Chain A
């Protein structure tokens, strides 16, 4: 019997906001902190915590700098982050398919 799709879910990636961060970051070379905050509708503190978790897991890289004297933080997804996101999406789709198939 095949393994249940929930076994493939990664706790670090599966959290809704972290999944959102990875999804947006995977679409671009890099994403600015302010853009993520407004797109995901998170507070700065909350977003910082989620980014820190992803950075610690090696799924995103954080780059801090200045532009026109304003501090800016850019987030980019790493190859490990891309792989983790792809695995998570596959597991989520498998779960939905399983749920639909089990409906009477």
Chain B
């Protein structure tokens, strides 16, 4: 009987290993982040914070990357599933990216409430943590979704410079849970830690600002994504 349980555990491990396809989204978003660096060139007469030369271009770039990356990831997972013969569900991942994309809209709505809305990074993190617990405990979907949308929106509202990386992180957390890969979970955890460091210590106020000081907010998370993707490829 113990042998049977051992055999089943081996089967489970093999099935999980065979369906791992996480290097693609890591590399896609990592490379796309590095490609965004030129868009962080400072404005001619920069004021405070993230004052770039082409704000519209930067504003369009990230939503396009998030949508294209999400669709490409789903395509990649399906293609790999068809080739290997075992397919991972990507519905939750698409949902997470949609929540990440809806954040700025919800944030705008919160700003236009009839009363003053006070946001805070800690509040956003707590609501997102609650959403994660609700999701793992299979709470009613409407409650989980509301908490996830609200937590993400508050976090992005309070940390607009890394809003796109919050959306990517949300997608990676869901993918890591679906893949049940220790390596991918570790990479995702490293990414989230680096994102916090990046948000807290990025020298946006360096004077005079340069593309590198402005784009440094991108460098750390992008590096983790690319290194994680390459580590995943090597494993395969």
| A positions within 8 Å CB-CB of B | 16, 19-20, 23-24, 27-32, 34-36, 39-40, 67, 74, 89, 92-93, 95-96, 99
Contacts and interface: CB of A to CB of B under 8 A. Distances in A.
Interface in B1-33: 1-2, 4-5, 7-8, 11-12, 14-16, 18-19
B82 interface: yes
A58 B116 CA distance: 54
B11 A92 contact: no
B88 A39 contact: no
A20 B8 contact: yes
Given A96-B2, A99-B1, A27 B85 contact: no
20 contacts: A23-B8, A24-B11, A27-B16, A27-B19, A27-B86, A28-B86, A28-B87, A28-B88, A29-B88, A32-B82, A32-B86, A35-B84, A39-B15, A40-B11, A74-B87, A89-B8, A92-B1, A92-B4, A92-B5, A96-B2
Contacts of A36: 85
A35 B18 CA distance: 10
B82 to A, nearest CB: 6
Contacts of A23: 8, 11-12, 15
B86 A93 contact: no
Given A23-B11, A23-B12, A27-B15, A93 B87 contact: no
A95 B8 CA distance: 16
Contacts of B11: 20, 23-24, 39-40
Contacts of A39: 11, 14-15
Interface of B: 1-2, 4-5, 7-8, 11-12, 14-16, 18-19, 81-82, 84-89, 180
A96 to B, nearest CB: 5
Contact of B89 (A16, A19, A29, A95): A29
Nearest to B82: A67
Contacts of B85: 31-32, 34-36
A16 B87 CA distance: 23
A83 to B, nearest CB: 13
A44 B2 CA distance: 28
Contacts of B81: 28-30
A40 B81 CA distance: 18
A35 B8 contact: no
A7 B84 CA distance: 38
B222 to A, nearest CB: 30
Nearest to B91: A29
Contacts of B18: 35
